[in-house]
Structure 1
Amino acid sequence: MKDEFSTLELIKNTTNSRFELLVENQKAFIDFKERNKKIYLIHTEVPGQLEGKGVSSALIEKTLLYIEQNGYKLIALCPAVVAFIRRHPEWKRLLDLEQSDIV
């Protein structure tokens, strides 16, 4: 993750079921569902003005850190999250066994 994003706080917005990152007064987010100590990451969205700056990677990495630190298992349904884990296979450790073959 780029240093400029390392100090930004990841917000778990339970009302809207989103992990959010505020960058340059714009909100990037990952929609999620939570059930039985599993977090399903469904969709990642980054505002057009922030694309290509590493915001998506920072958001995904911070979300994965949250999942790990809080003892959840990951179900990666979002193509951006799946692609991130393929590029960073060390994160496979979070995958729920039912899904480990997709990455």
Structure 2
Amino acid sequence: MRQFETKVENCLIKLEYSEQTKNIFLTRFEIHKSLSSEKYQDLFIKSVLDLLVEENCKVVPTCPIVVAFFKKHRSEYKHLLPAGITI
């Protein structure tokens, strides 16, 4: 398993993923309970998705937190979903 990660206020935020061809499966999101505000979640997920846009990847969110982010920001990121995947 691979992961994107960052530290905020000395606490780790990470998003685990697996890769198949050009599809990135976002599988597990972890954030320290002291940082569990939606602000930190959204900023981190947005930065990961923006990076994946630059890399021309398609994204399959399987983690509930990332699925919720996609639903909230559908118009911005629906182009990242592979054909046949809807959220």
Structure 1 length-normalised TM: 0.78
1:69 aligns with one of 54, 62, 73: 54
Q: CA offset at residue 53 of structure 1? A: 5.6
Aligned residue for 2:81?
A: 95
1:57 corresponds to which residue? 42
> How many residue pairs get matched?
86
Extract unaligned runs of 5+ from structure 2.
Answer: none
Whichever residue aligns with residue 84 of structure 2, its letter is E
Once the 2 structures are TM-superposed, how far is the Cα of residue 21 of structure 1 from its aligned partner? 1.6
Alpha-carbon RMSD across the aligned residues, in angstroms, is 1.2
Identity of aligned residues (%): 29
How many Å separate the matches in 2 of 1:66 and 1:34? 14
| Structure with the largest fraction of strand | 2
The answer for unaligned runs of 5 or more in structure 1 is 1-15
- Secondary structure of 1:97's aligned partner: coil
Q: Which of 24, 31, 48 pairs up with 2:33?
A: 48
Q: What's the TM-score once normalised by structure 2's chain length? A: 0.92
1:30 aligns to what?
15
